Structure 1
Amino acid sequence: MATARRRILPGFGWDIYGDGRRIRPGDVVAPDQRLSWGRTTGIGLQHVVAMFGATFLVPLITDFPPSTTLFFSGIGTLLFLVITAGRVPSYLGSSFAFIAPVTAATAMHGMSGALGGIIMAGAGLFLVGLIAHLAGTRWIQVLMPPVVTGSIVALIGLNLAPAAWNNVDAAPVTATVTIVAMLLAGVLFCGLLGRLSILVGVVVGYVVAVFLGEVDFSAVGEAAWFGLPAMTAPTFHLSVVGLFVPVVLVLVAENVGHVKSVALMTRRDLDPVAGRALMADGVATMLAGSGGGSGTTTYAENIGVMASSRVYSTAAYWVAGVFAILLGLMPKVGAVVATVPVGVLGGAGTVLYGMIGVLGVRIWVQNRVDFANPINLAVAGVPLIIAIANFTMVFGDVVFEGIALGSFAALAIHHGMSWVARMRGTDPGAEVAEDQDPREVYASPVNADDLAREADRRPDPSA
């Protein structure tokens, strides 16, 4: 029997799985195990490819330096592994929830002001994680039941629709080709390539843009091969607080959903580290904001790599994190990424923002939200209109736009109407049932039912 390795530091050090080469039928490589370093490195590079397309799109859309974002996403991933003691395999890539608030904050106070908002969001997420670590996550479920979580996720995607159209309108041919390529890639290819439809679509759109003369390569030749990424210091403004508060709610749902998904696939109880996961993402987001990177979140793309490879080893994520840091230290790579033209960004944004919106709808469907219930109907309907129309209110120096107002409305309508209904004895059952499967009350990054079927086919390691 193999002797457990002594951990050098939390999240570092693994037991060899079997012979290090083959995975037994129906089994998985656990987070604290690894295959041979050659195979582990290969899987780690797959994680880099899986995260790359979505991670670099956020800085391109928000006009942040791509190399800086890659650099901090790698560092944030390694910090996440250490803080969660190597129990939760995850890559921390750029969060699309930050696009709208960063764009608005940049228009008000420049990039430095947006970075201050990212740090505030990270601090808020860390505080939520600390409370969850001490008190558990049940209160999150009570605060944000599925109807509220779905509404907030959906409204963030739909609020970005005008931004997508502005980019599409600038180069409609390239944007259309990018959209079609993304959609076809999702159904033409199987395995990893099928899950990389975003990256495939961007590459195809980029090639078309080159032929149309829409790509400027002048900055690529001037960029150095090695060097530190561009850094920007944050500034803090009270007026951006309202823009970034809703992002914290989405990050909470994404992180808790990720932890529950991994727990289901590996048949391990990871609820005790859910608070750590939230704190870790909060720290990573604050670190990124302190130097010019995009805010981070756990990545659904990498869940797909784990599900297909059956390797949940955090060693592969150490490889991915280190490789992302190395890419961030190569300015020429960042310069190439920065040449992606506006038409490609418009096409990619159209698909991605739509998917974010539909993800909110999927949360409603998976959790069987009853829209015959007038409370649920109001929670879903009113915030979406507020976000799509981008309602705006100004209170002194603080500006609240569609996403912030819509998110506050979702919370206020749900809890306010539920309270009145309980007081009047007319509560139609808006609360989550006590016996509901806890994995169904969060925005899981992958389909919960598919995960359950896959997990049922695997042996329980504790048996």
Structure 2
Amino acid sequence: MLSRTWAPVLDVGFDQRVPVHRLLLFGTQHLVTLSAIWVFPVLIGVTLGLGGDDVSHLIQASFLLAGIVTVVQSSRVVRLPIVQGPTAAFFAALLAAGATYGLGAAFGSMVVAGLIFMLLSLPIGRLGVLTHVVRFAAEPLVYGTLCLIIGAQLATLGLPNWFGAEGEPAYGWKLFGIGLATLLVVVACLLFGGDTIVKRAAVLIGMLAGTLLALAFGLWSPPALGGTVLVGPPAWLPFGFDVRWPAVLLMLLAFLESSAEAVGMYALVSRWGGVTLTRTRITRGLFTEYAGTVAGALFGGVGTATYPENAGIVRVSRIGSRYVTMTAGLIAIALAFVPVLATFVAGLPGAVLAAASTVLFGIIALSGVQMMSGVEWDDLNLTVAATAFILALGGQWLPESMVATMPDWVRAVVTTPMMFGAVLLIVLNALINHGLRRVLGR
């Protein structure tokens, strides 16, 4: 067993159903918060100089991948209210591999790395490699610290983006005011919404209010959709298929980071519902994520992991019904075949999305503190957490002249706190707590 049973903190349990109208509302809230599903494809397109059609392929495939895996996970596998979405680890790996070898090789290498992790997740008695990874990644010290690192990294996407994108006509304090208004609406709904739908849908209400304000003050206009195809399926191998072994190594590290993130998120959410997870159940969940990422890569989808912002929504709304996340997954699948709607959602004001997500980023970080409440903070545990925390965040500010001399895959790892932090925490925890501690004990 990976965790003991905790007292539930949810008003609606994992297996409870909610009325249809609320099901659609809460499911939409989960989906709208899944900002990386369109942000990462757009950033990849801008960085690699892709055309509009290529970016559309990335968005459609990411919706399809996230939707299918979310439905399967919520209904059949881990049976928790989790939402799958593109993770920063795969985003960084795709950028590095795509810039060096092309997106065909990046996605092809993701397929190979995913197949390797699928093999590792097959139970082979006590020799299964993934069993040992789960053992180290699921400990409160490891995942609690990783939540802090994730929250700190996500903070760089929060307040700075309230001003909008530099170069936009509305860039500056006016958009910041829209972001501030959005945050105030979210906080007001949380504080004064009582035990009503206003509190449950606080994030969605805040996004709607912020978007309407931006529209009213002329700071945002709906995206032009005239040239967008109304209905169309995701494209098969839109960038071709190739495999490069340095890119495979980079993707393996991305899978390692997403595995640590997923295992910790399973443990965190199950704790809120007072449920104890077995290793078998978690391993099946990881296998599903790997298989989904492999399949999604064939359509150009950014690799998936359990999305922390959606776990934040579960905690804020106290709605833990997995039927809500199943609904979000079904909506995502539908949007994968309606590019015109995906384009519109991607065109929502960035300042509004950033402001509405700020509360969720803080919840993720402080959930890590909550997880570590039972950790005995002796010198060894302090060394593991403190070293990984500072090095993971510090990698973002390494001298450019030094970063430029690194191989692409090394640069992508050390400059991405979530990925670097996961590697450091698992390695340091294994060496110090499961190695040195035993030696000192003897």
- Confirm or deny a common fold (TM above 0.5): yes
Shift of the 111–187 alpha-carbon distance from structure 1 to 2, 3 Å rule, reads farther
Return the offset for 1:267: 5.5
Give the distance between the partners of 1:213 and 1:353, measured in 2 at CA.
Answer: 28
Give the structure 1 partner of residue 395 of structure 2: 387
1:368 matched residue in structure 2: 375
Q: Deviations over 1:48-89 (max 9, x none)?
A: 2132122244422441544432233222234436762xx624
Corresponding position of 2:415: 402
Alpha-carbon shift at residue 279 of structure 1 (Å): 0.6
Over 3 Å counting, the alpha-carbon distance change for 1:265 and 1:419 in structure 2 is closer
What letter matches 2:183 in structure 1? M
Structure 2: give runs of 5+ residues left out of the alignment. Answer: 1-9, 43-54
Aligned residue identity for 1:399: V
Which range is displaced more, 333-342 or 164-173?
Answer: 164-173
Q: How does 1:144-293 map to 2 (within 5 A)?
A: 145-159=139-153, 165=160, 168=163, 170=166, 171-173=171-173, 174-182=175-183, 184-189=185-190, 190=193, 191=196, 193-211=198-216, 213-215=218-220, 217=222, 219-229=224-234, 232-233=238-239, 236-240=243-247, 241-242=249-250, 245-246=253-254, 248-255=256-263, 257-258=265-266, 261-262=269-270, 265=273, 270-293=278-301
Tell me, in whole angstroms, the C-alpha distance in 2 between the residues paired with 1:45 and 1:414.
42
CA contact (8 A) 2:185 2:205 kept: no
What is the CA-CA distance between 1:338 and the residue it aligns to? 2.3
Among 68, 73, 83, the alignment partner of 2:66 is 73
- Which structure has the higher relative contact order (CA within 8 Å, separation 6+)? 2
CA drift of 1:244 comes to: 6.2
Alpha-carbon separation, structure 2, partners of 1:352 and 1:244: 28
Identify if the C-alpha distance between structure 1 residues 61 and 224 changes in structure 2 by more than 3 Å, giving closer, same or farther.
same
In the alignment, the residues of structure 1 paired with residue 117 and residue 256 of structure 2 have an alpha-carbon distance, to the nearest angstrom, of 6
Match of 1:50 in 2: 29
Q: CA deviation at 1:277?
A: 1.0
Quote the sequence identity (%). Answer: 19
Per-residue CA shift, 1:288-337, capped at 9, x if unaligned? 2221333333456378399856755x6x6655543332232222211211
Q: Structure 1 residues 383, 198: CA separation in 2 closer, same or farther (over 3 Å shift)?
A: farther
What is the one-letter code of the residue matched to 2:65? F
Q: TM-score, normalised by structure 2?
A: 0.68
1:56–1:70: 8 Å Cα contact kept in structure 2? Answer: no
Alignment of 1:304-315 (within 5 A): 304=314, 308=318, 311-312=321-322
How far off is 1:220 after superposition? 1.8
Query: In 2, distance between residues paired with 1:224 and 1:354?
Result: 38
How many Å separate the matches in 1 of 2:303 and 2:104? 13
1:126 pairs with 104, 118, 137, which one?
A: 118
Unaligned runs of 5+ in 1: 1-25, 428-463
Deviation of the 1:195 alpha carbon = 4.7
What secondary structure, in the 3-state scheme, does the structure 2 residue paired with 1:399 have? helix
Give secondary structure in 1 for the equivalent of 2:34.
Answer: helix
Give me the whole-angstrom Cα distance separating, in 1, the residues matched to 2:315 and 2:151: 25
Q: Counterparts of 1:267 and 1:30 in 2: how far apart (Å)?
A: 9
Q: CA deviation at 1:282?
A: 1.4
Match of 2:330 among 322, 329, 334: 322
Q: Mark the CA change 1:161 to 1:222 in structure 2 (over 3 Å): closer, same or farther.
A: same
Matched-pair contact (CA < 8 Å) for 2:67–2:332: yes
| Offset, 1:93 | 2.8
Contact 1:117 1:236 (C-alpha < 8 Å) held by counterparts: yes
CA drift of 1:276 comes to: 0.9
For 1:20, the equivalent position in structure 2 comes to none
| Residue 250 to residue 421, structure 1, CA distance change in 2 (3 Å) | same
Q: Whole-Å Cα distance in 2 between the matches of residues 235 and 317 of structure 1?
A: 34
Q: 1:297 to 1:183 in 2, by over 3 A?
A: farther
